[in-house]
Structure 1
Amino acid sequence: MYQYTMGCVWVGLACLLALILSFSSKAPYQLKMAIFIIGSGTIVLICIPLMMFKPRDYRNAFIPAWGCRQLCKALGVTMEVRGLENIRTEHGAVVLINHQSFLDLCGLAYLWPVIGRATVVSKKEVLFFPFFGFGAWLWGTLFINRSSKKDSICALQKESMAIQERNCKLLFFPEGTRNIKETLLPFKKGPFHIALQCQCPIQPVVISKYYFLNREEKSFRPGHAIIHILPEIHTAGSAVEDMDTIIESTRNTMEIEYKKLCQEIRRRGH
């Protein structure tokens, strides 16, 4: 089955790459985004038979993540990961990542093999994306109902036990929505409730701005992004009363790094 699946992956990727490379680097924004979204779904679809042997296992995402990285490279998008020395696999953590675009899926594809036993927290609507939603469920994504605060809290409290019991890394986009500005949006409190409840560290991860991607101008050029894993912010000994201070400190730390990466990317012409 493994050889069969890998064979399908290679065939599927070959077809996708042939389609992508048949277009110039000036292909319309909508076309390239469509290729990325459909391509990602196709990669997940090809991998579903293998993932069904161990449902809800974070390792199910390894092959789709590899395929997504190749898809991004074919579209002219490359990424590098910094700060690997800041990862601690011997304990769990709440991982916070800034959110810009559906292309953040590529960032997750780079993070997944290195961050540890990972679980992404996502809105339940993602579950209904063709193929991708089911695949995301198979590799352990936690889907929450944002319209029901009570349901969301119950789901997160249940999942937070995995941080303590299995040293899991719970990945959040704390801004709660996509943001293409050069400053971060205010952070939601949910991830910090979990961190304080578990007394686990917060691991900030900053992805540089996608200057090569411009929805307003409808441009999708080849480009490069930097993913920087920052040192953990410890919450041990802190209480709910300290939450606002921790949120402000975490957001400031991430925004300072975000601005630094923005400057570096601009200097490099990406």
Structure 2
Amino acid sequence: MSTVLAIRIAIFYCLLGLSALLWCTLGFFVCPFLKFPARYRFINVYWCRFALLLTRLFLGIDVKVTGAENVPATPCVILSNHQSTWETFFLSAYFQPLSQVLKKELLYVPFFGWAMAMLRPIAIDRENPKEALREVASKGDVLLKDGVWVLIFPEGTRVPYGTVGKFTRSGAALAVNAGLPVLPIAHNAGKFWPRDGWGKRPGIIEVMIGPPMFAEGSGPRATAELNDRAATWITEAQRSMGALVSPASVDTSKVL
């Protein structure tokens, strides 16, 4: 990494951290008086767009989106691979309003967590998988009925670029129970914004949005089949953009 890039990365993180502190602090006092759509735009959309602007200006990372015509008019369950922090910024700004699954401990962080709590997240306890599954199912169903996109990273955590993690079925199960499709999304953000460390690489992140996928039937079997189909599409989309450095297999045996 060059010295110039290292300095730009340091400036980026300083500005990102400072803006998050100021934005969340302001949002904590302003947003209780706003209705949810306006609250979401104020806290999430505007700040995430600012974060993406900083990413372009200081890191030289931009984005190319294909398949935008596949986005349905009605919110549904979004299933995306997970490699970095970048996709949380991008997807939170691209789909609105949007809720996502996160660790409940994050809601206890002063100002940042308090602001996030006002965005109707699905906060789960990862130490209690069965209870977490119930939280995703119950809160996710309510959010979808209220016209809120629900983002789920079926791999459960960020995985290294070039690999595919185990796909859980909670997102597919939520879509099946709600009678809505899943919207598969693939990207190669980890190539430029790695999972570990502070290092970054300039370049253009590819984001591919697939066609909405409906379950063929109902129940556990339909959930498993839908999950397999979405996992296969996301895997093949990553392979088509050269984001899999070696042949990868997807394990869809987990249920959360």
**Normalized against structure 2, the TM-score is what?**
0.79
Q: CA deviation at 1:117?
A: 3.4
Q: 2:170 pairs with 164, 177, 190, which one?
A: 190
Q: Distance in 1 between matches of 2:216 and 2:140?
A: 15
1:96 aligns with 2:76: no
Q: 1:177 pairs with 157, 162, 177, which one?
A: 157
Task: Report if aligned partners of 1:206, 1:258 keep a CA contact under 8 Å in 2.
Answer: yes
Q: Distance in 1 between matches of 2:195 and 2:163?
A: 17
Partner of 1:41: 20
Q: CA deviation at 1:62?
A: 2.2
Q: CA deviation at 1:110?
A: 4.1
5+ residue gaps, structure 2, are 245-256
Q: Where in structure 2 are the equivalents of 1:148-187 lying within 5 Å?
A: 148-187=128-167
Partner of 1:79: 63
Q: Quickly say closer, same or farther: Cα 1:35–1:154, change in 2 above 3 A.
A: same
Q: Distance in 2 between matches of 1:215 and 1:138?
A: 27
1:63 aligns with 2:54: no
Q: CA deviation at 1:56?
A: 4.9
SS in 1 for 2:234: helix
Sequence identity (%): 21
Show CA shifts across 1:184-243 (max 9, x none).
111112112211211210001112243233467863232221222211011263321223
Q: Quickly say closer, same or farther: Cα 1:203–1:32, change in 2 above 3 A.
A: farther
Give the letter for the 1:70 counterpart. L
SS in 1 for 2:84: coil
Q: 1:229 pairs with 193, 209, 220, which one?
A: 209
Show CA shifts across 1:123-170 (max 9, x none).
213223443322222222221112123432332233233355223211
Task: Report if aligned partners of 2:172, 2:224 keep a CA contact under 8 Å in 1.
Answer: no
Give the letter for the 2:90 counterpart. G
Give the letter for the 1:247 counterpart. N
Q: Quickly say closer, same or farther: Cα 1:100–1:32, change in 2 above 3 A.
A: farther
Partner of 2:232: 252
Task: Report if aligned partners of 1:206, 1:228 keep a CA contact under 8 Å in 2.
Answer: yes
Partner of 1:8: none
Q: Distance in 2 between matches of 1:134 and 1:216?
A: 26
Q: Quickly say closer, same or farther: Cα 1:260–1:192, change in 2 above 3 A.
A: same
**Normalized against structure 1, the TM-score is what?**
0.75
SS in 2 for 1:220: coil
5+ residue gaps, structure 1, are 1-22, 265-270
Task: Report if aligned partners of 2:45, 2:96 keep a CA contact under 8 Å in 1.
Answer: no
Q: CA RMSD in A?
A: 2.9
Q: Quickly say closer, same or farther: Cα 1:176–1:170, change in 2 above 3 A.
A: same
Give the letter for the 2:187 counterpart. I
Q: Quickly say closer, same or farther: Cα 1:55–1:262, change in 2 above 3 A.
A: farther
